[in-house]
Structures are given as structure tokens and as C-alpha cells.
Amino acid sequence: MQNRPSRALVAATLSALALGMTACSSGGSSTSSSGNDLGLISDGTLTVCSDVPYPPFEDFDKSSDTGFKGFDVDVVNSIAAKLDVKVEIKDSSFDALKSGLAINSNQCDLVASAMTITPEREQAMGFSDGYYDSEQSLLVGADSGIASISDLSGVKVGVQKGTTGEAYANDHASGADIVVFPSDGEMYAALKAGQVDALLQDLPVNIDHQNDPSQSGAFKVVETYDTGEKYGFAMKKTNTGLIDAVDKALGDMKSDGSYQKIYDSYFATAK
């Protein structure tokens, strides 16, 4: 996932600020309405790290209460409401999120960033139950003549560093010239500029580009790949109170229909 040209400097600054804030915090915790000790870094607030933008899962939105929007944001807001805590979202680099650095240095309580649960990541972090079944996909120019992953020999294919899309491309796009970007924002800009010929990444994000009204008909998803991936919310492994509370909230959302309502608002007509 993401890292714009100035992103490294921004992320480093944010990390330094976050660490400074952590050092000054009291390490206070909160108890949910159901009695769970949530072990929050800021009393009464669920501090969430997310790599933004990555629509439709997370994006900036100055008009919203948190300053962010997207599927992950809506699900997290609903979970927080059930835990009776506020939400603060921080834009972070995906490298810091997938490695567990952000969680384990107390920059945030929870990572919500369209993050696939993998055995490697589970070594560094605890995860909620899977909340979204993801697929990989190939986005190409509509008139490119590329019809499948078998047509990528010698073709420049954009992937995001450290993602399961990058791993899938390395394993399956034989002969492709794989170009690694720090963020989807830079990948998509490169595709529009003709610097790469295809993007291999999560299906909903490629569909969002396919449906970009400013590029009507320019790009299309030509293949999808069922990789069995599930997104999870990452938390500190030792914070079992928060993990249990998030899982209970997710279960309640699925039982009362609120999860499906959010899901349908983003994906019911996505394919």
C-alpha cells in the first residue's frame, strides 16, 4: 500500500509526533460498555492507524467527523460505537502498519487498512476475525490488448510494496517487469501517465479505478484471482481485551445487519 513522494518525510514526522504523544500519555485504558478492559493508549478514544488513500476502504474526507471515509472507516466507527469510545484516525505508512511497528510502539490501538491476515503478520500482531474476503485483480488499459496474466511478459506491472498483490505478481506474472510503488496513489498515477501498463492489486481498489469518472472507459479489470485472503483489524497481541471486544462487536454487527448494510453501500454493485 501507499507512500507518496513526500510520504516518507510525512510518515517520519507523524511517527515522531505519535511517539512523542505516546511518551507523554498516561497509558490510560478504557473499559467498554460490556466490561472489557480495552487497554487504549488514550482513555476513551480508539486510536486507529490507516494508510490513506486506498479507496473504497479508506480515503480523506474533510466533511466527516474523523476527516476520513471508506468501508474500513465505517466499520471501525460502528465498532467504536458499540465499545462506547470515540475514534481518532491517523494516516500512516503501510510499511509501519504491516510490520507491526505502529501497533507495538503504541502509535495506535488498532490498524484498519485493508490488511490481509498472513502468518508472517500474525507473528508481530494480533488480528480480529476476518471482516472482508478479498481477491486480487489485474487492471489494464481498455485498448491495451492484455487479456490475462499470461499476457504480461515484458509488460510493466505496478504493485504496491509489501502487499499480497506484490507477492502474487512475483509468483504468477512470469516475465513481467514488476514495478514496485509505495502507494496505490502513485501506482494509479503511473498507470494514467503510461509509465506502467497494468496494476495488480486488491479487486475493490482496481474496480474503483475502473469506475473513475475522470477516466471513463480508459481502464478495465480483465482478471480476478481468488487467493482466499481475509482482511483483519490488527492490534497488539497482548491486548486480548480489545481483540475480544472487537470480535464481539463484529459478531454483533453481522447479527443485527449493520455490517451487511455498510458492505452493500460499497460493494453490492461493485462487480
Looking at residue 78, which CATH number applies to its domain? 3.40.190.10
Q: Residue 173: pLDDT above 50?
A: yes
- Residue 35: pLDDT band (50, 70, 90) is low
Kindly state whether residues 117 and 237 are assigned to the same domain: yes
pLDDT digits (tens, 9 = 90+) for 46-91: 999 999 999 999 999 999 999 999 999 999 999 999 999 999 999 9
pLDDT, tens digit (0-9, with 9 covering 90-100), for 120-158: 999 999 999 999 998 999 999 999 999 999 999 999 999
Q: What is the pLDDT of residue 267?
A: 85
Mean pLDDT, residues 162-178 taken together: 94
Tell me, yes or no, whether 187 and 213 share the same domain: yes
**Residue 187 confidence (pLDDT):** 95
- pLDDT bin (cut points 50, 70, 90) of residue 6 is very low
Q: How far apart are the first and last CA of the chain?
A: 22
DSSP secondary structure of 111-135: E-SSPBP-HHHHHH-EE-S--EEEE
Query: Is 215 in contact with 192 (CB distance < 8 Å)?
Result: yes
224 assigned to some structural domain: yes
Grid cell in block for residue 173: 506474472
Q: What is the distance between the alpha carbons of residues 98 and 42, in angstroms, rounded to a whole number?
A: 22
- Please state, as a whole number, how many other Cβ atoms lie within 10 Å of the Cβ of residue 31: 18
AA identity, residue 246: V
Label residue 269 by pLDDT band (50, 70, 90).
low
Whole domain around residue 81: which residue ranges?
45-131+232-268
Q: Which three cell numbers stand for residue 191?
A: 498507470
235: region left, alpha or beta (phi > 0 left; psi from -120 to 50 alpha): beta
Interior/surface letters 236-260, b for 16+ CB within 10 angstroms, e for the rest:
bbebebbbbbbbbbbeebeeeebbe
Which triple of cell numbers denotes residue 136? 486480487
CA distances to 96, 132, 250 from 245, in Å: 24, 18, 9
pLDDT tens digits, residue range 198-225? 999 999 999 999 999 999 999 999 999 9
Mean pLDDT calculated for residue range 26-38: 63
What residue spans of the chain are helical by DSSP H? 7-24, 71-83, 94-98, 101-104, 119-124, 164-172, 184-192, 203-210, 240-256, 258-267
Q: Report how many domains make up the chain.
A: 2
Q: Please write the tens of the pLDDT for every residue from 85-123.
A: 999 999 998 989 999 999 999 999 999 999 999 999 999
What one-character DSSP code corresponds to residue 175?
T
Q: Are residues 169 and 211 in the same domain?
A: yes
Same domain, 215 and 245: no
The answer to whether residue 18 is domain-embedded is no
Q: Is residue 8 domain-resident? A: no
